A and B are shown apart, each in its own frame.
Chain A
Amino acid sequence: MSATTVSLRTITLVFITAAGVHCSFAQQEVPPSRLFSASTDCQACHNGLADRNGDASIGVHWRASVMANASNDPYWRASVQRETVDHPDASAAIEDKCATCHMPMARIIQQQNGTSGQVFAHLPNAFGRLANPVAPFAKDGVSCTVCHQITDKRLGTSLSFSGGFHVDVTQPPGAKRVFGPFDIEPGVAHIMNSSTGYTPQKGNHIQQAEFCATCHTLYTHALGENSSDMEQLAEQVPFLEWRHSDYADASSCQECHMTAADGAMAISSVLGAPRENVQKHIFKGGNFFLLSMLSTFCNDLFLQANTAELQNARIATIEQLQKNAATIAVSVGPAQTGDGQLSAMVTVENLAGHKLPTAYPSRRVWIHFTVQDDGGTIFESGRLYDGKIRGNNNDRDARKFEPHYDSINNEEQVQIYEAILADNSNRVTTGLLNATTYLKDNRITPSGFDKETANGDIAVKGAAREDISFADGGDKINYMVPIGNAEGPFRVTAELWYQPIGYRWAANLNGVAGKQTARFSRMYKKMDKRLTAIRLATATQKVTLLPSLQITAAERATAARLAAEDTDDNRQTPH
């Protein structure tokens, strides 16, 4: 036997062995399609639907939602990158944690294949090309076959929070179940199974708030030196806020955020019979600005939804916020020439079933208060300019923040309802994994929310805690407006504004090393800053000064009391 023959045999053996090893590894990989289907497999049968108000296509609504674009969200991508830059040793864990709810299908697929969830490996390149077979499932965000495969296992328990939902990964396609609120006729169930491998099954848990709580109750653990675990922070807990309110017994998340269809409507365009009590998949949340960004950069982000669909979603979200989020009222006390001051009581009421704003701490609501006469504006607190709030310490200086007020008497003060995070040295931060506590949480509590009995995760923090007028679904602020010698008549206006991404939360990403942070900052810069915020509610009162010395002290006191009682009647919402 020659040496050549031996070496040829050796090479052949090595090749065969290598091929065998490769095949055995390849066989161990769980193909994505064994666990999930892309939303594109579902939409054909769940589009082309309408209720009495027009198109109510489940697929069209969903793909233009923040849920569908959970992984396409440039702000989220930048925020994840910022955390990995701040805590490079924990990058893998950070990506895994964030992927849990923003790329849930991809993360479960990767878990099944023995790896942790990734974020950046799944993002499309500049031409929209996806780099790996898991990436399409990452891009699909919070998609049909993740939500509808969630079982009722451990729902409502703390184990289910922070993305602890349970999906049955053991069943092969064909035997997989998807849950929905209706009984499905067997023939139609077979149609669905033949086409997708999933059999629809009634599961009431999908309509419960506990279902949404799996991702919308998020605890983070601050990272200290060398990425060591520090305190836990309740980063976003709308479900816990809801559970501590009157709404817990009245309505679920789905009832408000998934608008009910007007009249009976089919849920499938294939042999779909009209059904009562259908909740549309429009998912009207709080982030209308993200929808503006997605709509503007729809092509750059290679989104499934088109610009018009995203604009429709944005409009619907804004309508919901302006209709159902809050009311504001203003009541001006009697004043006479020579007082040099107007006194106005502004009352805000939270109509939502959780704090206003809630969830991600970048959100803020504030009061824009003005007093005007024929000559122009005499007093103004809380004007929005270039995405910032005039007078807000935090927008001027990242180390500071605006306190909660019970009374405001100059233009440099502004009542902002927000969460201010701080690190373990009590320094203000927007770094989620630096944060160990809240220096301020005066987000307006929902009706029935008792701040005295609220636990630490949902507690009111800062000066609002001691403010007796900040309670049970609302707040009252007294504006003491210096008017000098002005004689009026005056127009006193109080507006409640809302901004999903506060200026500091966007600005702090600028300059952070990374492609995604740079991309978001570029996009943010290009956006019209007037689109960053909306007016939730407005109240106006016209005031005429009485001639001097016509009001006695007793009359003034009585009028003030009556005005306060009238506050409720004066509440207005914008049109």
Chain B
Amino acid sequence: MRNRNKTAMVIGIAVVAAALGLVAPDLARTASQQTEWNALKNGRDIYMTACAACHGGNGRGNSQSSVAFETPLPDFSDCNFTSREGAADWFQIARLGGPVRGFHQMMPAFGEALTDAQLKAAVAHIKRFCAEDKWPDGILNLPKALVTGKAYPEDEYMFTYSMNGGSPWMFEGKFVFEKRIGARHQVEVAIPVVVKELERQKADGTTQTRFGEGVGDIALGYKFNVFHSLKSLTIMSLSTEVILPSGDEADRIGKGFFRIEPFLTLGQLIPALGFLQFQAGAELSTKPNKGAHELFWRGVFGHSFAKGGYGRTWSPMIEVLGAKEMEDDTKIEWQVLPELQVTLNQRQHIRFCLGARIPVTDFDRDNIQYMAYLLWDWFDGGFTDGWRGAL
């Protein structure tokens, strides 16, 4: 009996040893591979090991004959591309794969193979393919508020809507086209379309209500980014808008004279807390007798959060708007504007914002203006791109 047990034990040990002998080399190999990658700390080494097969050692993307797939690869050395989004976005794509931002599935998820620190180092290396400091980083591209302008130069289409809550009823739709030129410049055209309720005094003394409608005063703008710093997380731009008297003055859809609006915009990211944006300037009238010069200042505070750091991004904001005509007997008009911006698609380049502009000075419920916009960052893709992702 004892001998039989001994024999069984010997056989058992032999079987286990043989099994280990067969399996161990493969286990050892996979373990050693893991160890090799874990040892990679330098962003360049990580990039060359994990990313260069498609994106090329120089970041310009390998040829189609090499990668075989037809989806065009980005050129990381093109600052206009590489600077557009912040490192956090790049990190999420590297960690979770292209579909997390509505990009092609061919961009794999590295999150199970590389550590967060390694991925961040690789992203930092990618960001360094852009060797020009003059391009403000996408992290400074703060959420657009409904009224307060932002400092980051953009490529966007924006459709804004505002409507009066009370009487007289007024609706304004505005199409805004923004085009970035180079690192720091941006031009802009804004074309408003206004529908408003008008009252007309008739000859018999009664009033008649009708609707006036038409294109309002078209604005042409130029923005120049004067300062940006990743160290202080600050961005500042100077802008000028020329507002044309294209709207019907009689129906008060347009003001009937040229105006020039120089202003400054400032954005400040406050890690963990949120962001601040500030805009201050003047609207200078070319016909002071018809419309006075005006000073304005606007500030917005907001915070963005997203599920898991990568899902739909919600940005509640509150704006404080102040304006004063440059005449002695006028008072400052204050308004507050609580609002919420949300990304509509996976790519996050289609956004919607809704808010209410509430007069603080001489509050009147009827003067509350409801505002919204639909924003399309067309540099990031077509309107129908990036809606479907893995998440």
Of A41, A44, A182, the most chain B CB neighbours within 10 A belong to A44
**A residues within 8 A CB of B74?**
none
Asked if A192 is at the interface of the complex by the 8 Å CB criterion, the answer is yes
A225 at the binding interface (Cβ < 8 Å): no
Q: Does A271 make an interface contact (CB < 8 A)?
A: yes
Contacts of A191 in B (CB 8 A): 108-110, 112-113
**Chain A nearest Cβ from B273, distance in angstroms:** 34
Q: How far is the CA of A42 from the CA of B96 in the complex (A)?
A: 19
- Cβ B107 vs Cβ A195 within 8 A: yes
Tell me whether B108 and A270 are in contact (CB under 8 A): yes
Q: Select one of B29, B53, B66, B109 contacting A273, CB under 8 A.
A: B29
Interface string of A426-452 (1 = CB under 8 A from B): 000000000000000000000000000
Q: How far is the CA of A191 from the CA of B34 in the complex (A)?
A: 14
State whether the Cβ of B11 lies closer than 8 Å to any Cβ in chain A.
no
Whether A304 is near chain B, meaning CB under 8 Å from some CB there, is: yes
A197: nearest chain-B partner, CB-CB: B105
Q: Could you tell me the distance in whole angstroms from the C-beta of A546 to the nearest C-beta in chain B?
A: 64
Q: In the assembly, what is the distance between CA of A44 and CA of B68, in Å?
A: 6
> Known interface pairs A195-B108, A273-B32, A275-B29. Does A43 touch B37 (Cβ–Cβ under 8 Å)?
no
Is B87 engaged at the interface, CB distance under 8 Å to the other chain?
Answer: no
Interface string of A194-217 (1 = CB under 8 A from B): 111100001000000000000000
A47 contacts partner chain B, Cβ-Cβ < 8 Å: yes
Which A residues are CB-close (under 8 A) to B69?
40-41, 43-44
B201 within 8 Å of A (CB atoms): no
Asked if A375 lies at the interface with its beta carbon under 8 angstroms from chain B, I say no
Chain B residues, CB < 8 A from A412:
none
Per-residue CB proximity of B27-46 to A under 8 Å, as 1/0? Answer: 10110111011000000000
Instruction: Give the interface size bracket for B toward A.
Output: 20 to 34
Residues of B within 8 A of A296 (CB): none
| A187 close to B66 (CB less than 8 A) | no
Min Cβ gap B169→A in Å is: 38
Give residues 113-164 of A contacting B (CB, 8 Å).
Answer: none
Roughly how many angstroms separate A483 CA and B32 CA in the complex, as a whole number?
71
Separation of A306 and B63 alpha carbons in the complex (Å): 13
- Interface centre among B33, B68, B70, by most chain A C-beta atoms within 10 angstroms, is B68
Note all chain A residues with C-beta closer than 8 A to B112.
186-187, 190-191
**8 A Cβ contacts from A226-270 to B:** 268-270
Cross-chain contact B113 with A304 (CB below 8 angstroms): no
Q: Which residues of A contact B356 (CB under 8 A)?
A: none
A38-52: CB near B (< 8 Å → 1, else 0) gives: 011111110110000
Other-chain contact of B67, A44, A183, A192 (Cβ < 8 Å): A44
Kindly report which residue of chain A lies nearest to residue B108, judged by CB atoms: A195
**Residues of B contacting A190 in the complex (Cβ-Cβ under 8 angstroms):** 109, 111-113
Q: Mark A447-490, 1 if CB is under 8 A from B, else 0.
A: 00000000000000000000000000000000000000000000
B61 to chain A, nearest CB (A): 11
Q: B93-137 interface mask toward A, CB cutoff 8 Å, 1 = contact, 0 = none?
A: 000110000000111111111100000000000000000000000
Does B65 have its Cβ within 8 Å of any Cβ on chain A?
yes
Contact present for A194 and B114 (CB under 8 Å): no
Residues of B within 8 A of A182 (CB): 26, 29
B26–A59 contact, CB under 8 A?
no
Does A188 interact with chain B (Cβ within 8 Å)? yes
User: CB of A185 within 8 A of chain B?
Assistant: yes
On whether A273 and B108 interact (CB within 8 A), knowing A41-B69, A43-B67, the answer reads no
The answer on a CB contact under 8 Å between A40 and B37 is no
Asked if A184 is at the interface of the complex by the 8 Å CB criterion, the answer is yes
Residue in A closest to B32 when the chains form the complex, CB atoms: A273
C-alpha spacing A271/B47, complex, angstroms: 10
By a CB distance below 8 angstroms, the chain B residues around A306 are 65
Chain B CB within 10 Å, residue with most, of A40, A48, A271, A273: A271
Q: How far is the CB of A188 from chain B (nearest CB, A)?
A: 6
Residues of B within 8 A of A270 (CB): 49-51, 53-54, 108
B33, B49, B96: which contacts A185 (Cβ < 8 A)? Answer: B33
> Which residues of chain A come closer than 8 Å to B54, judged between CB atoms?
44-45, 270
Q: Which residues of A contact B51 (CB under 8 A)?
A: 270
CB distance from A437 to the nearest CB of B (A): 45
Q: A306: nearest residue on chain B (CB-CB)? A: B65
Closest Cβ of chain B: how far from A34's Cβ, in Å? Answer: 14
Q: Measured between alpha carbons, how far is A185 from B30 in the docked complex, in Å?
A: 5
A387 CA / B202 CA spacing, docked (Å): 103
Bound CA span A264–B36, Å = 16
**Given A185-B33, A270-B53, A273-B36; A202-B108 close (CB under 8 Å):** no
Q: Are B68 and A43 in contact (CB under 8 A)?
A: yes
CB pair B30 A184 closer than 8 Å: yes
State in angstroms the CA–CA spacing of A40 and B64 once bound together.
10
Q: Which residue of B lies closest to A191 (CB)?
A: B108
Q: CA A44 – CA B54 in complex, angstroms? A: 6
Nearest CB in chain B to that of A202: its residue? B26
Minimum CB–CB distance from B391 to chain A (whole Å) comes to: 12
The chain B residue sitting closest to A43, CB to CB, is B68
The answer to whether A192 and B68 touch (CB under 8 A), given A44-B54, A270-B53, is no
Contacting pair A187 B26 (CB below 8 A):
no
Asked if B37 contacts A44 (CB within 8 A), the reply is no
CB distance from B354 to the nearest CB of A (A): 35
Contact A194 B97 (CB under 8 A): yes
CA distance A40 to B52 in the complex (A): 17
For the complex, is B62 an interface residue (Cβ under 8 Å from A)?
yes
Contact B106 A192 (CB under 8 A): no
Given contacts A48-B66, A183-B26, A195-B108, contact A269 B53 (CB under 8 A): yes
Residues of A with C-beta under 8 A to B53: 44-45, 47-48, 268-270
Nearest CB in chain A to that of B114: its residue? A187
CB-nearest residue of chain A relative to B64?
Answer: A40
CA distance A197 to B36 in the complex (A): 26
Quote the shortest CB–CB distance from B345 to chain A (angstroms).
20
Which A residues are CB-close (under 8 A) to B97? 194-195
Q: How far is the CA of A306 from the CA of B114 in the complex (A)?
A: 35
CA distance A275 to B36 in the complex (A): 14
Known contacts A185-B34, A187-B112, A270-B50; A47/B67 CB under 8 A: yes
Q: Is the CB of A194 within 8 A of B66?
A: no
Q: Mark A264-288, 1 if CB is under 8 A from B, else 0.
A: 0000111101010000000000000
A188-B49 Cα distance, complex, nearest whole Å: 12
Chain A residues contacting B107 (CB-CB under 8 Å) are 195
In the complex, the answer to whether B68 meets A40 with C-beta atoms within 8 Å is yes
List of B residues within 8 angstroms of A48 by Cβ: 53, 62, 66
Bitwise interface map of B from 49 to 88 toward A, beta carbon under 8 Å scored 1, else 0 = 1111110000000100111111000000000000000000
Q: Roughly how many angstroms separate A412 CA and B308 CA in the complex, as a whole number? A: 83
Complex CA gap A543/B36 in Å reads: 65
Measured CA separation A43–B71 after assembly (Å): 13
Give chain A residues whose Cβ lies under 8 Å from the Cβ of B34.
185, 187
- In the bound complex, what is the Cα–Cα distance between A188 and B114 (angstroms)? 9
Closest A residue to B53 by CB, please name it: A269
Shortest Cβ distance from residue B181 to the other chain A in the assembled complex, whole angstroms: 34
Q: How far is the CA of A197 from the CA of B109 in the complex (A)?
A: 12
* CB neighbours of B30 from chain A (8 A): 183-186
Verify A47–B66 contact, CB threshold 8 A: yes
Instruction: Kindly report which residue of chain A lies nearest to residue B54, judged by CB atoms.
Output: A44
1/0 contact string of B13-37 vs chain A (CB within 8 Å): 0000000000000110110111011
Contacts of B105 in A (CB 8 A): 194-197
CA distance A275 to B32 in the complex (A): 12
Q: How far is the CB of A181 from chain B (nearest CB, A)?
A: 10
When chains A and B are docked, how far (Å) is the Cα of A39 from the Cα of B49? 22
Sample of 12 more A-B contacts, CB < 8 Å, known A195-B108, A271-B37 = A39-B68, A40-B70, A42-B68, A63-B68, A184-B30, A187-B37, A187-B110, A187-B112, A270-B53, A271-B50, A273-B33, A275-B29
Considering the complex of A and B, which 8 residue pairs feature the smallest CB-CB distances, nearest first?
A187-B113, A43-B68, A269-B53, A194-B109, A190-B112, A195-B108, A44-B67, A183-B26
14 sampled A-B residue pairs with Cβ under 8 A:
A40-B69, A40-B70, A43-B67, A44-B62, A48-B66, A59-B68, A186-B112, A187-B112, A191-B110, A195-B105, A270-B49, A271-B49, A273-B33, A306-B65
